[in-house]
Structure 1
């Protein structure tokens, strides 16, 4: 009855119409995975998205990244919860010689980081030229 009288709110309608885009995230939760990523990067681009689950800016950037990400991209996409897996986050910096930032996206090819960005610059990267 109330829906007929008042209709549905635009935000409720938008959330009903909106389907959440799911990316093919691979959980990065072990230091051992970093050697695998380096090896795989010899034949396929590897991406690591470092995210701080307590940071609003990190969440905003990640949501923008998800919305813009091309699902047809020929790359493996790793998600690192850097608060939960601090040791892995630290090792990413050592192994790939990149100063830690959050949020941060690393593009790995042939065992090395060929590009990286943090904060809003993540969404300015043209990932197509690395895949």
Structure 2
């Protein structure tokens, strides 16, 4: 899967603009958390190349970019969790889930 890396605050405005054309997925990942690694692996095992036609994925390493992770939480009015998926459409969060609640099937239903 080709993730777009979320590393700068300016990208939040880009994500909002992109989400008006196609939903954007943000995956907030903690590189220090085994649950986060398992949730990411479960998502990646089911991900299909054609999913990129439906949703634009962003990956946020919240250990390296914790302030940015907090900014995403504030901007989209979603409490911070880790791991976490946030689905953005029309510049607003329309879905979020965390930990073992992260489900490829449920996520794709929302897209």
Q: TM-score, normalised by structure 2?
A: 0.93
Q: Is this contact kept in 2: 1:107–1:116, CA < 8 A?
A: yes
- Count residues with an aligned counterpart: 109
Higher normalized contact order (CA 8 Å, seq sep 6+, divided by chain length): 2
1:62 maps to 40
Q: Is this contact kept in 2: 1:50–1:103, CA < 8 A?
A: yes
Distance 1:118 1:125, change over 3 A: farther
2:17 maps to 39
Distance of 2:105 and 2:97 partners within structure 1:
8
Q: Is this contact kept in 2: 1:47–1:105, CA < 8 A?
A: yes
The RMSD of aligned alpha carbons is 1.2
Distance 1:125 1:100, change over 3 A: farther
Q: What's the CA shift string for 1:59-101, capped at 9, x where partnerless?
A: 0111111001232111110000001001110100010000000
Q: TM-score, normalised by structure 1?
A: 0.79
Distance of 2:27 and 2:38 partners within structure 1:
13
Query: Which entry has the higher C-alpha Rg, 1 or 2?
Result: 1
